[in-house]
Structure 1
């Protein structure tokens, strides 16, 4: 077993160091493991079967649709509308317009499913506006990095779709399970921002908006609120499947972009091209990880690891702590999709044996993956903010550090109180 682990680690590391795409690196590693240690397997037939099996789940159909919906909304320029609409409501709170990063990310997360897209569309407008108004630059970048991760937790979530497919769990239940944790995490971010600004005393003063100005601002929030109500209402009432929700979301995004006068043929073509590129990347990772996990299964690695950890006789909570640290470290080197599809065949049986619900574990894993979005050197949210600010990754990572600890603490809170994720799905049954 040690020789298999060494070959796996060395080969995968070498491929990544050689700038080979993650999906191809996963596929090649699995292929070599089977060719070396199970040479009697007809690899052409076996690999073809694995690829087909990885891509046929019906719920995967929703993934490219949600990606397209997100790209259309980015094209529509909702970031400026969100900032303009939220400013009259949030400017007088402790923390002021910094809360736009959190509330704006929460709203956009509810229609995008992508952490990087949420960070990009909110940050493109909020960071220059906050800097122009004299807000703490470090806190502005850190709050955006942390709040952007909500794109993974608040439904519809692309990562949750992938977890549901790999773990064979209901994507609808996972979506509903992410609602309360997502809103609670957003609230924790806002509380931290408020206390930080109250203690530092650096919040710029803003004029008190009139109720007329607040009423007028609602038209800027209205389009995205309409889309959120449509998606979340259909989700909770069970009026549509996940794929139907995704199709409704694309149609709603197209209507919003059309009404706002920001949907040209070239813009729609560009959004579609970016959606195809992103979906293909995710599909390649799913296929590569499927072959690697099949290789692990043939070689008995999940069973061996489960037996090793069982021998440690860890309590369920300590097991969760160990897994959280494991995911946090892994997130420093891999993206969230790769982390989930690579580790789930090993970690999910451990969690079920420890008495945890697989739907709850889906929410927990998503929070753990959120941590990977703001940890260097691979944290995607850090790169998005770097492209917008020109700051170094180290500077942005330091700014995001408080939100990293909030995520860690929230993951442990979920372990102590699983009903935070399970109560709402339970009302559907």
Structure 2
């Protein structure tokens, strides 16, 4: 059996293991070790496994993972999301469906310090869903707004998905963060427009009385902690003042200090944030180690070269190849979580994408958008299950039906990125 064919067989075995509910990290580890053993010999596979585990755990650039996770956890336990929602509610008052639009806006802002879509969706469910239900909002629009807004957490920097992509694809993280900002804001606007459209067509969605201009300005003072945190950490990266590692450390420390100063972070809350951050980081590093071993095997088999050659032999247009890759991502999103999708596919797809002339930074944003789509589209939609777990009176079927109009937004953004790649590449070009 040739090396490329062996690589293809092992990839198929990996998907079979995932369908059998084998954990992603274990499936990657098994396939990587067995594949390297078959390709070379057991001693080589053992050496690759040991070296990769050590290199990954000691990789300085990956220190941003636990630090950004800690920043997000502290921000969550400091109830920063409540202040963002209050400010958005006042500023967007007077609009049809103003609370749903405010939920999406607050979710996007909170994602800018959290970096996790699941955490954003879980937090905003507790904050905004009771408010919308009390105001008389339909359960469908209320929950769909939370789910769609929650998905913004992995596109608007800091994004854990982009951190993982940077490590796997060996791309500069500051450029990836810069590339995600404009598409992230656009996607938030698209979600808001859909919520407004649904609210205008519905005769039952209440309208909050419009606040005065002075009240709107004063409301912007509420989320001052968020403004400071984002400006210092992420703004420091854009301005070239901090490296991503330094910004993550400053952001985590700043979140703790602001939580203490504002008397919103208790000692038990800080301890809980540290515990969750350690556990989450351990899980992520385990997955990264397994993915790195698997990626080493894929590279050795030259499977990406085989796929690139096959696509070129079929004389497919570059857009058709990308459309096929996006379709594969959408299907995978039905049964895989986002980080697993990125770690499994990027080593295989990135050489093919680059071979057809697409920018790896641009491709990163496409991948994140498709991963976002997987968080809210049936039959899995992790954000939908997170919301349903906290609001069990709402059936999962209601959530599936309600989220359908919001699926238009990520598809529209993907089309725009194909037509105008500079939407993602303009800011990195300006800054770097």
Q: Which TM-score tier does this pair reach, normalised by the shorter chain?
A: over 0.9
TM-score if structure 1 supplies the norm length? 0.94
Q: Is the 8 A contact 1:97 1:130 kept in 2?
A: yes
Identify the residue that residue 405 of structure 1 maps to in structure 2: 408
- Give yes or no for contact 1:101–1:123 (8 Å, CA) kept in 2: no
User: Unaligned stretches of 5+ in structure 1?
Assistant: none
| 1:197-250 deviation digits (Å, cap 9, x = unpaired) | 112233213233344543443332222122222233212211000011101111
Note the C-alpha offset of 1:184: 0.7
2:422 paired with 1:416: no
Whether the 8 Å contact between 1:59 and 1:171 is mirrored in structure 2 is no
Does the residue aligned with 1:373 lie in a helix, a strand or coil? helix
Structure-1 separation of matches of 2:349 and 2:18: 24
SS at match of 2:222: helix
Deviation at 1:103, TM superposition (A): 0.7
**Residue 426 of structure 2: SS of its match in structure 1?**
helix
Residues 1-400 of structure 1 correspond to what in structure 2 (within 5 A)?
A: 5-6=8-9, 8-10=11-13, 12-14=15-17, 17=20, 19-39=21-41, 41-390=43-392, 391-400=394-403
Moved more, 120-129 or 193-202: 193-202
CA spacing shift, 1:210–1:175, aligned 2, 3 Å:
same
Change (3 A) 1:100 1:334: same
Q: Partners in 1 of 2:38 and 2:61 — Cα distance?
A: 34
Long gaps (5+) in structure 2: none
C-alpha deviation, 1:354, in angstroms: 1.3
Shift in Å, 1:395: 2.9
The 8 Å contact of residues 115 and 149 in structure 1, kept in 2 or not, is answered as yes
When the two structures are superposed, what TM-score results if normalisation uses the length of structure 2? 0.93
Whether the 8 Å CA contact 2:144–2:399 is kept in 1: the answer is yes
Aligned positions, number: 428
Structure 1 residue 41: Cα displacement: 4.7
Sort the Cα spacing of 1:355 and 1:384 in 2 relative to 1 into closer, same or farther, 3 A: same
Question: Per-residue deviation at 1:268?
Answer: 0.7
* C-alpha separation in 2, matches of 1:361 and 1:161: 14
Q: Take 1:56 and 1:16, find their aligned partners in 2: how far apart are those partners?
A: 32
